[in-house]
């Protein structure tokens, strides 16, 4: 149905444009119309102007050429015959003859072709008529966006009647590939809109060993200028029939959101299964906003079976959150709600929920004209779960920082603060050390010293002119009192503040370059390298990054780097080295490439000692136009197998494209699937429409 609505767009923007533009003038030739021809004659008794031989009429940006033309000044009717061409901008009308009533705007085009440049639309018909201000009819017409004389595809219709901004009907509609008829529709009723248009999108077909043959039928609904929705009917031969919804909207001040969901009665489990997703961002002002994100499924295994609907296959938990933020110059107020579904637990009754948490923060601010600065983190939280300990917590961490040093050489800061916690606890199990009411005060102090040394080198090169090297040494110390906190409830990391008596050192190196780019210059970061390590004076430490507790003084050596090998290539490398065991605790090198012409590559290696080791990569290229090939995979070295591989290929023609993809999953509900989707450019699309509310000016729904 989108096909015929696009035809209306052609009518509205070309045929109507020409007819109404010419009909706008009520006098001849005072309206600025210019006529050129080999011969011209004026029948004064009937007041008819006749032009013959290479006729050219020009007015208000439109040009008409024909073999002959006549204009009845009394009836205000223009008639042109023989090789008629009407051009306005890049749009055009061609036909054997045209008759226009410049006063009423009615007109007839015989043996005509309409071309709309914006969407490359070609529409032909034995006869096309404008019978009223918004009423059109066409007989034996065809529509395509292909330029070839024999188009790759087209839609043909016996009779077409429509009213712009209302509805239209079409009879005997046939879809052709080349000149071969493929589908037949005896009768269609479709909405006629000049902007976004509701209608069916091209279906997507696929197969998997878990779902069998699959067909997704999409319907796009243009609800209003700021609202739209895509409805999906998902037919699976092995699992049943599912329905999906993706509703999107745009509000004032840039507020936006979407609501989605999927529901299927799974014939394998004889149960309804589904997911609901929602996200919203309400901007009340630049200083105040509200955000929400809802993600909920009917059962623990839904994502592993139907993860392609949401893009998630393997999650330990799903969070649904609502966040409010109000900021002032030195303060920020937050309010958060969090509901969690734990997919690894047999029941969600014991899962901890945050309902709600209210926080107040004071940013780093100077106290009068002193070198002292104050900041604060504080929160009030209600923790709830159906089964298990629950209650409320008040937390505050006020801190004073003294800033000093030698300007330009040394920056020194020292701080002192205290973690303040108070609890009200319910549902305490028998024999537990917890109390109904309890609290704690835990001091913390710290010191930081940093400096900076830099030098600029003149390379004398034509492109790379200068190099700037900067070294930033830093030493920091943190002390947190070693306090027994086992008598306090354990809800999150705030309830178990780790004892620290540790000194950290780090050395960061920056390398940047000044490049000549034609007549201009640009500054580009070339490399960042940081090495750091900590030493615990108390002889014990807890290494949070590698999650080990070795009771040894030295932490792992941490190396972080990012190098621009080329404007199109970036190398990253993070690693940790255990100085006691002489082994690499973790490593994660990565390489990214983008030639800015359609070829991208990404390769990453992940290793954690005695835990995981895998390689992940993606490659996409448009080198073999009109083809685009993509490949993504993950290989596990500890399992000696590929975890997942996805192959896809897209062929893009001037007026259509086809995408085929194959997925092979070997862990987490393994299986294979194959999908294929088509896109007839300018008529149908697969998935969401090309223009959503976010692409248009915001308006109130």
Check: CB of residue 17 under 8 Å from CB of residue 1.
Answer: no
Check: CB of residue 495 under 8 Å from CB of residue 489.
Answer: yes
**Is the pLDDT confidence value at 695 over 70?**
no
Give me the domains of the chain, ranges plus CATH numbers. 2-194 (2.60.450.10)
- pLDDT value at position 684? 52
Least confident of 391-395, 488-492, 649-653, 674-678: 674-678
> What integer is the mean pLDDT of 229-248?
93
SS3 of 288-319: the string is EEEEEEEEEECCCCHHHHHHHHCCCCCCCEEE
Query: How many Å apart are CA 425 and CA 436, to the nearest integer?
Result: 5
Q: How distant, in Å, are the alpha carbons of 97, 332, 638 from that of 91?
A: 18, 55, 62
Query: How many Å apart are CA 28 and CA 15, to the nearest integer?
Result: 21
Paired tokens of 501: 């008596």
- pLDDT value at position 344? 87
**Extended beta strands in 90-132, E state:** 91-101, 107-116, 121-130
**Is the pLDDT confidence value at 280 over 50?**
yes
Please give the backbone phi and psi of residue 651, each rounded to the nearest 5 degrees, phi first: -110, 120
Angle at 139 between CA 12 and CA 160, to 5 degrees: 55
- pLDDT value at position 312? 61
Closest C-alpha among 170, 114, 117 to residue 140: 170
pLDDT, tens only, 624-646: 989 999 999 999 998 888 888 99
Closest C-alpha among 469, 471, 452, 473 to residue 409: 452
% of the chain at pLDDT higher than 70 = 86
Least confident of 130-139, 285-294, 353-362, 583-592: 130-139
At a CB cut-off of 8 Å and minimum separation 6, what does 522 contact? 514, 515
Under the banding of pLDDT at 50, 70 and 90, the label for residue 685 is very low
Closest C-alpha among 148, 154, 130, 152 to residue 23: 130
Residue with the bigger pLDDT between 31 and 181: it is: 181
Burial 419-456 (b: 16+ CB within 10 A, else e): bebebbbeeeeeeeebeeebebebebbbbbbbbeeeee
- pLDDT value at position 513? 93
Under the banding of pLDDT at 50, 70 and 90, the label for residue 540 is low
- pLDDT value at position 568? 93
**pLDDT averaged over every residue in the chain:** 85
pLDDT, tens only, 27-79: 344 456 688 899 988 888 888 889 999 899 886 678 889 999 988 888 888 89
Angle at 371 between CA 368 and CA 372, to 5 degrees: 75
Longest dimension (CA), the chain: 115
Query: How many Å apart are CA 248 and CA 226, to the nearest integer?
Result: 8
**Is the pLDDT confidence value at 693 over 80?**
no
Q: How distant, in Å, are the alpha carbons of 305, 466, 634, 665 from that of 642?
A: 19, 46, 6, 8
- pLDDT value at position 36? 87
> What integer is the mean pLDDT of 121-137?
77
- pLDDT value at position 32? 60
SS3 494: helix
Query: How many Å apart are CA 698 and CA 252, to the nearest integer?
Result: 6
Under the banding of pLDDT at 50, 70 and 90, the label for residue 311 is low
């Amino acid at each position: 149905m989108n096909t015929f609505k696009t035809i209306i767009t052609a009518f509205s923007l070309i045929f109507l444009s020409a007819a109404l533009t010419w009909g706008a003038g009520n006098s001849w030739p005072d309206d600025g119309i210019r006529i050129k021809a080999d011969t011209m004659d004026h029948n004064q008794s009937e007041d008819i102007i006749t032009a013959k031989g290479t006729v050219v009429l020009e007015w208000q940006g439109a040009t008409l050429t024909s073999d002959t033309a006549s204009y009845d000044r009394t009836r205000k009717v223009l008639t042109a015959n023989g090789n008629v061409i009407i051009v306005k901008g890049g749009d055009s009308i061609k036909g054997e003859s045209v008759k226009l009533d410049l006063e009423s705007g009615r007109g007839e085009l015989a043996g005509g072709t309409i071309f709309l440049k914006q969407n490359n639309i070609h529409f032909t018909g034995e006869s096309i008529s404008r019978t009223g201000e918004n009423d059109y009819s066409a007989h034996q017409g065809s529509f395509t966006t292909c330029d070839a004389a024999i188009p790759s595809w087209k839609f043909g219709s016996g009779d077409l009647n429509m009213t712009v901004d209302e509805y239209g009907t079409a009879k005997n509609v046939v879809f052709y590939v080349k000149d071969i008829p493929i589908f037949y529709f005896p009768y269609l009723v479709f909405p006629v809109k000049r902007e976004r248009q509701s209608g069916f999108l091209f279906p997507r077909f696929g197969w998997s060993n878990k779902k069998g043959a699959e067909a997704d039928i999409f319907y796009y609904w243009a609800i209003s200028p700021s609202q739209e929705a895509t409805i999906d009917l998902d037919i699976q031969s092995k699992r049943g029939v599912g329905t999906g919804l993706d509703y999107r909207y745009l509000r004032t001040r840039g507020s936006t959101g979407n609501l989605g969901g999927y529901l299927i009665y799974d014939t394998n489990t004889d149960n309804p299964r589904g997911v609901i997703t929602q996200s919203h961002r309400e901007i009340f002002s630049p200083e105040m906003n509200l955000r929400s994100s809802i993600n909920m499924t009917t059962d623990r295994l839904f994502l592993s079976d139907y993860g392609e609907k949401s893009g998630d296959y393997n999650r330990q938990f799903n969070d649904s959150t609502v966040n409010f933020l109000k900021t002032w110059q030195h303060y920020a107020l937050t309010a958060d709600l969090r509901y969690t579904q734990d997919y690894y637990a047999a029941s969600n009754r014991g899962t901890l929920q945050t309902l709600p948490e209210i926080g107040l923060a004071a940013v780093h601010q100077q106290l009068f004209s002193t070198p002292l600065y104050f900041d604060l983190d504080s929160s009030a939280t209600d923790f709830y779960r159906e089964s298990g300990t629950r209650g409320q917590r008040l937390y505050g961490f006020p801190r004073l920082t003294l800033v000093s040093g030698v300007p330009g050489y040394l920056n020194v800061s020292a701080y002192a603060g205290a973690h303040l916690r108070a609890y009200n606890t319910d549902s305490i199990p028998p024999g537990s050390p917890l109390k109904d009411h309890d609290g704690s005060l835990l001091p913390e102090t710290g010191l930081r010293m940093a400096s900076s040394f830099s030098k600029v080198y003149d390379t004398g090169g034509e492109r790379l002119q200068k190099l700037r090297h900067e070294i930033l040494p830093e030493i920091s110390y943190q002390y947190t009192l070693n306090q027994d906190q086992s008598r306090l409830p354990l809800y999150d990391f705030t309830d178990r503040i780790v004892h620290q008596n540790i000194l950290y050192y780090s050395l960061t190196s920056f390398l940047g370059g000044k490049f000549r780019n034609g007549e201009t210059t640009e500054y580009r970061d070339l490399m960042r390298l940081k090495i750091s390590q900590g030493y615990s004076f108390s002889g014990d430490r807890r290494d949070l990054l590698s999650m080990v507790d070795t009771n040894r003084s030295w932490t792992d050596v941490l190396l972080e780097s990012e190098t621009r090998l080329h404007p199109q290539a970036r190398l990253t490398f993070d690693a940790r080295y255990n100085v006691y065991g002489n082994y690499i605790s973790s490593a994660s090198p990565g390489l990214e490439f983008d030639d800015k012409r359609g070829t991208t590559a990404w390769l990453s290696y992940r290793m954690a000692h005695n835990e995981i080791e895998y390689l992940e990569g993606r490659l996409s290229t448009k080198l073999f136009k009109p083809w685009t090939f993509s490949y993504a995979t993950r290989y596990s070295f500890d399992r000696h197998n590929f975890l997942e591989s996805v192959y896809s290929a897209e062929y893009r023609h001037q007026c259509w494209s086809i995408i085929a993809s194959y997925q092979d999953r070997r862990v987490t509900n393994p299986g294979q699937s194959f999908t294929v989707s088509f896109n007839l450019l300018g008529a149908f699309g697969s998935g969401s429409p090309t223009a959503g509310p976010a692409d248009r000016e915001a308006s109130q729904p």
